[in-house]
Amino acid sequence: MTFDSEPVHWDSNLETLLREYSLEDILTSDKCLHDWILQMKVLGVTLVKAGVREGEILRLAQRISFIRTTCLGETVPIKTRDVSADTTNLAYTNKFFPIHSDLVCYGRPPGIILLRCIKPAEGHGGDNMVVDGFKIAKELKLEDPEAFKILTETEVEFFDIGREVYGKFHQRSRHPTISLDSRGRLNRINISDHGRDAMLRIPNNRVRLFYDALSSFSRKIYNEENIFPIKLAKGDLLAIDNNRVLHGRRPFEATSSRFLDQGYLEWDEMNSRLRILHTQLGYQ
């Protein structure tokens, strides 16, 4: 692999491609760090054996540069809460969590998700689901160019309102479902059914066309052939490219509990570290 390696697309066969890393190796070996960042660029997802010691996500973030802080804080404890409590975030329940991109309510959503398992759900269920959103977008473009065009041109409003570590927040932003860069290349996928506003700022005669296109895209996302399920073990850290890879969670038993912590990185900083390592290690 090189710095400019093309993405390798995957579906439910990801297990044959998924690389596993040791956090200690990433922290102590420049070559391993270089390889891990390249793998994130090519596959969009990696598994890191990180352990459960407090602060491990921050240690990994600082190996790159700094963590991306959001209204949720530097790192986010995701613990199952009593569903009778005032829980408005599905992440804190044992319910099915729809496949989505994180924090599309921000004008610039985080580039990379670091999701570490401290206590896995017991019994059946609780698997994380990952989907290669860029692969599905490319397939939609080939099979239904008009639907693809509609999803790249129609802005959707996303929002989140609540209270977290810094107090009350009200985040709101607008993105197309499929975002392209200035050269027409896939830039990011913006999917969040639980955070999508019902309001569409488009002419009435375009509403049905938009929902038909979104429905076509969603059917592909939820096709089991495109979903790779992974049940994280204690100490596992799943790193996800939030621009490209969508994720969700299958429900788990109500008598069980689950504890994860989560943080975010930015691709600008990942790419910066990769360029520095590329030079230091003498790669052409």
Per-residue pLDDT of the chain (284 residues; tens, 9 = 90+): 566 778 999 999 999 999 999 999 999 999 999 999 999 999 999 999 999 999 999 999 999 999 999 999 999 999 886 554 455 678 888 888 999 999 999 999 999 999 999 999 888 889 999 999 999 999 999 999 999 999 999 999 999 999 988 999 999 999 999 999 999 999 999 999 999 999 899 999 999 999 999 999 999 999 999 999 999 999 999 999 999 999 999 999 877 788 999 999 999 999 999 999 999 999 86
* 8-state DSSP, 154: -
Structure confidence at residue 199 (pLDDT): 87
Identify any residues that bridge with 77 across adjacent strands, giving them in sequence order. 261
Residue 150: burial class (beta carbons within 10 Å; 0-12, 13-18, 19+): buried
Q: How far apart are CA 236 and CA 22, in angstroms?
A: 10
CA torsion sign for 247, 251, 253, 255 is positive
Strand positions, DSSP E, 34-166: 45-49, 75-79, 97-100, 112-119, 128-132, 155-164
46: left (phi over 0), alpha (psi -120 to 50) or beta: beta
Global pTM reads 0.95
